[in-house]
Amino acid sequence: MNKLKSDDVFSPGAGNRIHKLDNKFFNRPNVVLIARELLGKILVTCFEKKITSGRIVETEAYAGIEDRASHAYGGRRTNRTEIMYKQAGTSYIYLCYGIHHLFNIVTNKENIPHAILVRALEPLTGIETMLARTRKKSLDFSLTRGPGNLSKAMGLSTVHTGKSLFDGDIYVGEDGYRPSAKDIVTTARVGVDYAGPDAVLPYRFYLEGNGYVSAPLKKDNPTIK
């Protein structure tokens, strides 16, 4: 395991250091608020001495046993979902359609299975590594748009489920950037029609106008200059 420290990574542009979020940020009862406040934070990974990072621009909250869209709805506990009952700041990564590895962060106290799906990032560092992982020749918005693409670019997979964000090769940090309230869009979550009345809950958040958000653009994946 790589012992990655927050001081190892700088935020591009202003050159600000990225400071790792601690347990207090994630160990709170309001998963919807945490999902909103994750916008603008930075996800960092370091695997095989290759550091990659990206600013979080889209999230979804899943409110545990009372949320029909949650894997833990009704108190469901399986080998896969048992991770959701762990301490706040634990990574929960599951396979979707047998193809996509989706990265979530567990929140709240142990045995309260709240989680946040990170749906999109704006790449910051290690872009060449991300391109190699995704077998892309050039940078476009599809690199980290959507949770499956995000995980592939960041090197995340189900082998990392259950890992703590506080002591290893994956963490979430901040560099002082705070999106303004007017730039945050709130909508229903994507692909949860099975959740009945909970399908329309306003639990998805994203930064308006950001090309990496998993929403259609007028042009398909324009190359970034």
Q: What is the pLDDT of residues 37-94, one digit of tens each?
A: 999 999 999 999 999 999 999 999 999 999 999 999 999 999 999 999 999 999 999 9
Percentage of the chain modeled with pLDDT above 70: 88
Q: What tokens appear for 158 in the block?
A: 């189900």
- Least confidently predicted of 33-42, 52-61, 119-128, 166-175: 166-175
Residue 225 lies in a domain: no
Residue 7 has pLDDT above 60, yes or no: no
Name the helix (H) or strand (E) containing 23.
Answer: helix 23-26
Residue 14 lies in a domain: yes
> Domain holding 30: CATH number?
3.10.300.10
Band (pLDDT 50/70/90 cuts) for residue 205 is very high
Average pLDDT over residues 126-152: 97
Task: Give buried/exposed letters for 12-50 (b at 16+ CB in 10 A, else e).
Answer: eeeeeebebbeeebbbbeebbebbbbbbbbbbbbbbeee
Looking at residue 81, its amino acid is: T
Average pLDDT over residues 93-100: 87
How far is it, in rounded angstroms, from Cα 104 to Cα 106?
7
Residues in contact with 216: Cβ distance below 8 Å, sequence separation at least 6, in sequence order: none
Check residue 200 and give its pLDDT.
Answer: 95
How far is it, in rounded angstroms, from Cα 13 to Cα 40?
15
SS3 content of the chain, % helix, strand, coil (to 5): 25, 30, 45
Q: Total structural domains in the chain?
A: 1
Q: What is the pTM of this model?
A: 0.90
Show the domain range for 131. 6-207
Residue 39 lies in a domain: yes
Q: What tokens appear for 198 in the block?
A: 């909970």
Check residue 13 and give its pLDDT.
Answer: 46
Residue 114 has pLDDT above 80, yes or no: yes
Residue 107 lies in a domain: yes
Band (pLDDT 50/70/90 cuts) for residue 220 is very low
